[in-house]
Structure 1
């Protein structure tokens, strides 16, 4: 029960931090831009995304073509200096435009699950408050290194967006880690 309460506390802190990072600070939208001619772009995407829902790389080609060296060489020459885009395509639209409530619920649940993992790790040893907070921050840094940096490297996510995710994850888990560490430290015998 101690870990469940720690997870709830950490989940709440992380959820509130996410709201602050996205709504009050520019952290959550760093690197994001608003496209012009959106209707034309959406019409072109609808015509181009023949396979429906998915992630599309433009320019891109099917993985089975990778073994055709002549095709790959011609593709590289044709698109070497062309623009590049990574598109998340949902033909049914974005339900968050009409109601963010389902997304907010999912975010809170995932924050709480993540906080449970952090609480579990922090409860594995007899760490003091400061060390627990640093471990939580290190877990946020680890998540950023393993997810955001590969997206920056391979899919060309903007550096500003990638830096924003660093701030969001590390600061968030330092704050949530402090709340979790406080809860876990209650009632523990102090060691000299």
Structure 2
């Protein structure tokens, strides 16, 4: 179990640092996003029209849909207070738990080479990215470039984590 926990923690840390690079060093997430033309006016409108935190749809009901009209799917936090240490800690914990789950899935395999284990983990990363983001493209009209960046980001994250996981975890025959 020590190998499982070590692989999970190290892989989680690797994914955490990849997330930092992906979101702050590379510009690809910003390149597929848009800025409101007047952020102050938009913020005032959000506070006036969406006074409580939660998920909002425009139109809210299908009957309100007008061909050619605007639509929106948004997570609104009218009084947001950033607590970066907590946010970073929760993010790291999420990556470690995710890595642990992938390690447990890999342990169910048998007789895979290092390359096959790495490929298996990358495939899981593709599945995670696809299932996690494609429905937003289909149902909420998220842009194709945005969804593709998110899916590729997931695959890269799992490739990097997989380099460690595949080295330390050998499947059901692994000596713990």
TM-score by length of 2: 0.88
Q: String of CA shifts for 1:83-139, please: whole Å, max 9, x gaps.
A: 22222111221x33xx42211111110000000011111122232111111111111
Give distance in 1, aligned partners of 2:161 and 2:31. 22
The alignment covers a number of residue pairs equal to 171
Contact 2:46/2:78 (<8 A) preserved: no
2:150 is equivalent to residue 165 of structure 1? yes
Aligned 8 A contact 1:30 1:160 in 2: no
- Counterparts of residues 117-132 of structure 1 (less than 5 Å): 117-125=101-109, 126-132=111-117
1:30 CA displacement:
4.2
| Structure 1 segment 1-192 matched on structure 2, within 5 A | 1-50=2-51, 52-61=52-61, 72=63, 75-76=64-65, 79-93=66-80, 95-96=81-82, 99-125=83-109, 126-185=111-170
Supply the distance in 1 between the matched residues of 2:113 and 2:158 (Cα, whole angstroms).
17
The 2-side partners of 1:139 and 1:30 are apart by: 26
Distance 1:7 1:143 in 2: 17
The farther-off stretch of 118-127 and 128-137 is 118-127
Q: How far apart are residue 25 of structure 1 and its match?
A: 1.3
TM-score normalised by L of structure 1: 0.81
Whether the aligned pair in 2 keeps the contact of 1:132 and 1:178 (CA below 8 Å) is no
Q: Could you tell me which runs of 5 or more consecutive residues in structure 1 were left unpaired when the two chains were aligned.
A: 67-71
Distance 2:55 2:146 in 1: 18
